[in-house]
A and B are shown apart, each in its own frame.
Chain A
């Protein structure tokens, strides 16, 4: 009995330490996969962007040349600003379109139809991304369906600029691509809203729009922020859409990255990649702040 009593501490310690280690063990494959093939390569990209190329070989010498080069070419800088502009506009319009849709779905559609209609709106998001971009190829352009249809009906005699392969087409397709995601995110936060609050606000004299703006929107702000983040970020790194429907005027920063890497200019490509990553990081930092202010307001 004394034996048993003295072994207790060791047994006890083993009982605590072993499961603790064992409980982290299942992380191992994920650490290998996501650490080794996600974080490490990102780190390497960071290094590459500060290294230089001598005789087609990457030399581990620290330099800012890659960045200097990027900012010295006006076309690149203009593309960068254009990319930010396209991301901003496309995100704004996507959310602007998705909000009334989510509002309609959660407030005016009968309960039993809501889930199927929501699924219907989200399904395109999970089908092929490439094909959804491709589907616009026949629709847009000078000889595209839209312009030909409009001319056929006699509504216009010249192709409409909005539907040519250009930046406007890129924005249109991006809205098309990300609408389902924005609608889903907004819907899931609006769905939880207690509509009696709107009625109370209107009872107290608010107009319907005033009530939506002052009562509904502040409460679903986390959902709005999430939607903004997850629409804006992927658009920053967009390659296919401008490549397929952008023509010559719709080039975005992602196309520059691909061009550099295809030309085996790895260090310059790495620098541009890092610029995209920095913009993303900035977005996430902004996102964090908006989260903390939400808490500060006592959510």
Chain B
């Protein structure tokens, strides 16, 4: 496409410039609100006057020392941890037959398994509310919220892991069998190490989705609160700089996990490569 650019006419150059300006505006649109949110969490004036006249960290201090927020963080992390564990186990095991067994309705089953992604969370939330409080007579608690969130996050793990399995060279397993590995060893030494990046990415994704999930949790968690629910209830009373500070921290946390999700598989690969390179160079020296 570089050659394409060379031969552009004047009008082509104008188009190119216009689109570049447009692209930039899009990024301003995408990040502007988030940046402002973070900016205002440092604004000394409680009523968020514009322009900002003084900067402060007091809202962060206030947020960090709020015991209600401590409880919410604890609940959020506990729920996210459980959701991640369930999603990874259920999603990874389901991905195997989805990709590998001779399924008659493979496409149908796949759609069925990822349907919870396509259905609005609101419907998952209310239908589970009805199930738990109606026929099952379960007490709403963080555990019921965990079930609800897992319904929504597991399909993401299934998608990620099955995509990785799809590209998996079955000859590797046959080779392992040929070399004497039984089914368990094939899984442990060949399959799992190779799909590990997808499992990790799935786990981190499930974790972030759970951290931020609002509507399903809102219906199912009962009297406990998670961070999104805390923020939501605060918003009802109006915008406060404490919430801005809390929101900024939550944003930073989910960006961090996201960065991990992107980076970790590559880090794993890179560290393997580093091992190779170090030792590879040693081998080269020996030959030299």
A residues within 8 Å of B by Cβ? Answer: 20, 23-27, 29-30, 33-34, 37-38, 40-42, 44-45, 48, 58, 97, 100-101, 103-105, 107-111, 117, 119-121, 123-124, 126-132, 134-139, 145, 148-149, 152, 176, 179-180, 183, 195, 208, 229-230, 233-234, 236-240, 244, 254, 257-258, 261, 266, 269-270, 273, 276-277, 280, 284
Contact = CB atoms under 8 A, between A and B. Distances in A.
B239 interface: yes
Contact of B126 (A183, A238, A273): A273
A38 B124 contact: yes
Contacts of A236: 120
Contacts of B123: 42, 45, 237, 273, 276-277
B16 A108 contact: yes
Interface string B201-241: 00001001001101100010000000010011001000100
Nearest to A236: B120
A24 B48 CA distance: 58
A41 B124 CA distance: 8
A106 to B, nearest CB: 8
Given A108-B5, A138-B48, A258-B122, A44 B131 contact: yes
Interface string B18-38: 011011001101110110110
B199 interface: no
Q: How large is the interface on B (under 10, 10 to 19, 20 to 34, 35 or more residues)?
A: 35 or more
Contacts, number: 225
B142 interface: no
A127 B155 CA distance: 18
Would you call the interface of chain B mostly helix, strand, loop, or mixed?
helix
B154 interface: yes
B19 A138 contact: no
Nearest to A107: B1
Contacts of A27: 93-94, 97-98
Interface in B77-107: 86, 89-91, 93-94, 96-98, 100-102
B177 interface: no
A38 B115 contact: yes
Interface of B: 1-2, 4-5, 15-16, 19-20, 22-23, 26-27, 29-31, 33-34, 36-37, 40, 48, 50-51, 86, 89-91, 93-94, 96-98, 100-102, 112-113, 115-116, 118-124, 126-131, 134-135, 147-148, 150-151, 154-155, 158, 205, 208, 211-212, 214-215, 219, 228, 231-232, 235, 239, 243-244, 247, 250-251, 254-255, 258, 262
Given A26-B94, A41-B131, A104-B19, 4 more contacts: A34-B154, A120-B27, A131-B212, A277-B123
